[in-house]
A and B are shown apart, each in its own frame.
Chain A
């Protein structure tokens, strides 16, 4: 699936190089991601490649380093694009934390670089630096807020439709 997957370590036994990379990730900004970090945690995707697919059981969490990723549901003519995610944004957090299947499909729009975290190495980052926790919580809150406003608009449209006809 990924054209350049390099994170082949056992999920629950990160080696010293991987731990060093996680330390660097935890204490650096995404825009500062070094080649060493990318060597340990990075993947590259070509346009149209799928990072994860709706209903699959993968649990990895992705942080976008470069490029854009389309989030969609359904396939073919039934596909509906929900959002586009860009640099610094996190994807795949729901399945990573609640263990349910993926709720949407993530597809590379152009060339995309991401950092990929398993449950084991993301837990290590949590322990190393809390800003990741706060960033993730804020990201989830923003999405909930955004989606909730869409729900309100949708019901408002339904109410207006009922009143008009």
Chain B
């Protein structure tokens, strides 16, 4: 029987991270994919911080997360909580808990919306307490502000924010090209080596970004050829890869909850690599698009308040200008990559496509964008199949998936694979995916055969043409997408036919 305590319960309030600790304290972060994590590390380091990337979360981390926090967490939180706890436990064994508390702080993403992902401070605290690390400092970074108790140790100023943003743009483009090239590489492992080299090169590019004032930094980022030049160099590195794009492969677009669609490893059963191993070409989900969605969601408030709130229209116009600049910047960098990476779909188009099935203002997760992306891919023949990664117990994502029942009812030909990812039910999820992938493979083959028939070409003739045109066997040769075929091999046939005047 509890007795009355004179002091009431208070939530976890970490000791602030101060400016004086910058040189001796390392900021831990993670939960994205390795390319962007490496670049974020460069941005943090160039801004005068010590930064360390947490290892990719594993199944062991999942079990630790479940064990140390309240039951029923969504799967991404179990992974990230366990990942942090296991890392700290390992460090504590070496240098002791006190030293760990001094030496590290953890910075993680929260959210400022309805999703409980931003309300996990108590769960993290419980996990830390259950591990004897209750004094460890952990800070949640919401989408619109930094944890107010953080102190002055981390100054999330504009030059650093812009560095992170440009880092996302660049690594999204590299990742996109990587996934277009690897399934077709003639020399196995070459793409992997080029990507690693490219990311290390970009690490130096971002590490050596010139330091400047806030105002100058905005202007500089928007106008400098610095990043475009770097991406042209990346493109040059990719051009050394020889590809055989006549391998018929289904194109699988990854969508879903942000963490699961982004991370590459145990948390999503390494689905990107698994799909490739099963013979697919993966169309990865860009962080850039997710951020464009967040911008759109933010601006919708001003749309709604137009005519009600003073200056709402002006704010909307300014916001649209900012969003336009965002997209222009991405396109500019994409041009530097020879327009090879996929384009960023218009958020307005995604919204329009999703409207009959999911209201545009329902936020908290990826909302109507998931429905919109599926329909966009289907109507524009961007992929043969959609693989939607839904974390076990994710609340917003299940709603989008539920609404997709209406979409699939209307368009039964869409190959849609919503996978519930629990972290420890791999066989179930992958076999489900494989069933739909099998159908996608047949569809890709059918599309290829039909294209050959339509163009009155044979595969041998196309091969001969490619043999005679070595520039077309380079990874950086652009195969146009005219919206009549989704598969790379079929598009190549169409392109060759056009060049041959068929």
Q: Do the two chains bind?
A: no
